[in-house]
Chain A
């Protein structure tokens, strides 16, 4: 360091410090928060950030996953294992239970359950009286997220009104909410996909195996690789191929597609991420392709 320039944090250290600060603000301002943990890479980073924020104490919030019942076993197994290793409480609430209660009604049996997670999430918020949900969404993921606040306000119906959000100045976050209202807090808002992978590499974070290259039967559709599974069987006329793939994001089986890749280590994934030509959602989300505004619509209905 030269004597002229003040010492500053590297970009990853800065992002880490900001995320820790946000998590502690939620813990300090909210009475009953919860951290949403899916077993995916963003929420795995969130757990490491929570460790850095609160250890040697326990997390001042439980973990929760809204399970569509259509998640990859590798991911849900990892989710359970990681929560147990950390000794933190994991709550799982299932879209299938909402279906049984009749609060989620699918239009057709094979309709994706992804967007219905909103209903189950709102039910869980009410069941436990959570006043804040800490999530791993990033502003670079999607256009409708670029204007999202770090502390995003949701009304009694869980709705996000883009025109009724609180201005956020400096690092003074306002997480106040009346009873029944809810704050969604996004500590890694300012991270990009590349930052996430760099953090995974630096912190040597373990990931579910399907993030790394493996051979899997797929069908090519609309420029995406659609995995062939029990939930998404091949249809008559489909050409099933065995392709070496990895997942860039892991979510509901019916709407998350892998990409062709031979990257079997974090270092190789980093290299691919830095040189890739397609955004994470574009390459992997079957649900976002339909409409430019689909994420915005889902968020208005209470999505994460």
Chain B
């Protein structure tokens, strides 16, 4: 085996542009699976034995050409029914970036699956079939992407080969979409004409879309900022676990109290003044550690251990923030809730809300209205069924330390748990 000039997928040091999570959405048969297969294939992520298995399956199902969409369907139950039922995660890597694709299927459970997939994504690819143009589904996907706060959208106008790679078709879809996106207030939207089947404008430009001068899909993925937001965010550190070694043989560790968690937003350094919630006690950061070693400071998304100058009683569910930038303490929250469970929401019941590392009992005070995700119209509602999205007011038994979801994805989000089954039944975003 001879060494290639650049190593596919090996990223280290300053050339490492981090990790980008994105999701793909489209109606059935718009070419989502083919597009993902194409991305994996053209970035050489598909290995020979997988390809053999696909060839075998293609032959078994009577398709002659290798069907790249077979790469992306997983479970036996799904294969038997020929559909996908759940969010699947796939990985590929270029020389500079690692990617996690969340692939959400497009049938009736779609809202739930798409909200799930979108919750961790920073970019969404919305597929449009060039022959069909914008559909109700396109509007719904775009609305959900904006609801969950995905900062970057790519509208992929697929199957350009079936409209003779006609620029006018592409421009018409772009104009339609922009008229609609304006109303939604989506910030960064880009449009790319492509053929997933032929591989045009995905990784390679191909030679049939000469009139298009913008970047390929992969170029967009490679250059979009990996961080969820470019804005400076407030420091939020929900405490997950308290480390108290109490090692009597080692006097240094005897009084050690490390507060372990992940910097959900902002950054922190030794010497910063902090406040602990809910107690309101204040202190300064004595040390920032990883695995017991000092690292001095920590940024957004880093998992670390904080040591404080003063002895304060802190436990899981508390939050450490900078004293100058405190969140709201709320016992009543207004939120957009997506219902995820087959058992409908019951306003009479008490649920559990998990917000950061905090769990509190909660009751629905009011369902303000349900949203029709296709027309965005408000409708009155007394309960919520699976896939419903509604504006809801919740009463909490204890306060949570929250920011509006639009300002902070980590402290603005929560899940609803049904204590009788322990299932996750709802997802909420604080307004």
Contact = CB atoms under 8 A, between A and B. Distances in A.
Contacts of B8: 274-275
Contacts of B116: 167-169
Contacts of B354: 172, 174
B309 interface: no
B415 A194 contact: no
Contacts of A147: 74-75, 86-89
A75 B205 CA distance: 48
Interface in B75-116: 75-77, 79, 85-91, 93, 97-98, 100, 112, 115-116
Interface in A47-70: 51-58, 60
Contacts of A202: 12
B18 A166 contact: no
Which of under 10, 10 to 19, 20 to 34, or 35 or more describes the interface residues of B?
35 or more
A139 B229 CA distance: 27
Interface stretch (B152-160, B177-185, B256-264, B374-382): B256-264
Interface string A6-20: 111111111111101
B86 A271 contact: no
B282 interface: no
Nearest to B90: A146
B427 A296 contact: no
Interface in A261-284: 270-272, 274-279, 282-283
B65 interface: no
A244 interface: no
Contact of A172 (B18, B19, B90, B415): B415
B363 interface: no
Given A14-B18, A192-B93, A282-B50, A55 B291 contact: yes
A6 B77 contact: no
B18 A8 contact: yes
A277 B119 contact: no
A15 B303 CA distance: 10
Interface stretch (A23-31, A92-100, A245-253): A23-31
B258 A11 contact: no
B380 to A, nearest CB: 26
A11 B120 contact: no
A278 B140 CA distance: 39
A65 B111 CA distance: 41
A229 interface: no
A96 B6 CA distance: 48
Interface string B403-416: 00000011001110
For B19, B87, B245, the residue with the greatest tally of chain A CB atoms inside 10 Å of its CB is: B19
A167 B241 CA distance: 24
A170 B86 CA distance: 16
A171 B354 CA distance: 11
Contacts of B79: 293
Contacts of A18: 303
A11 B76 CA distance: 32
B410 to A, nearest CB: 7
B48 A167 contact: no
Given A7-B299, A9-B302, A274 B19 contact: no
For A194, A296, A297, the residue with the greatest tally of chain B CB atoms inside 10 Å of its CB is: A194
A139 B91 contact: yes
A174 B87 CA distance: 17
Nearest to B245: A57
Contacts of A189: 89
19 contacts: A8-B18, A9-B19, A9-B299, A11-B18, A12-B16, A25-B240, A25-B357, A52-B290, A56-B292, A147-B89, A163-B85, A170-B120, A170-B409, A172-B354, A174-B417, A189-B89, A190-B89, A274-B10, A296-B75
Which 5 pairs show the lowest CB-CB distances between chains A and B? A282-B49, A20-B303, A52-B291, A55-B292, A10-B16
Interface of B: 1, 3-4, 7-13, 16, 18-19, 47-50, 53, 57, 74-77, 79, 85-91, 93, 97-98, 100, 112, 115-116, 119-120, 225-227, 229-230, 232, 240-241, 243-245, 247, 253, 256, 258, 260-262, 290-292, 299-303, 316, 340, 354-357, 409-410, 413-415, 417, 422-424, 427
Given A169-B415, A170-B413, 14 more contacts: A8-B225, A9-B18, A9-B301, A10-B12, A21-B303, A147-B86, A167-B340, A167-B424, A171-B410, A192-B91, A198-B12, A275-B3, A279-B47, A292-B57
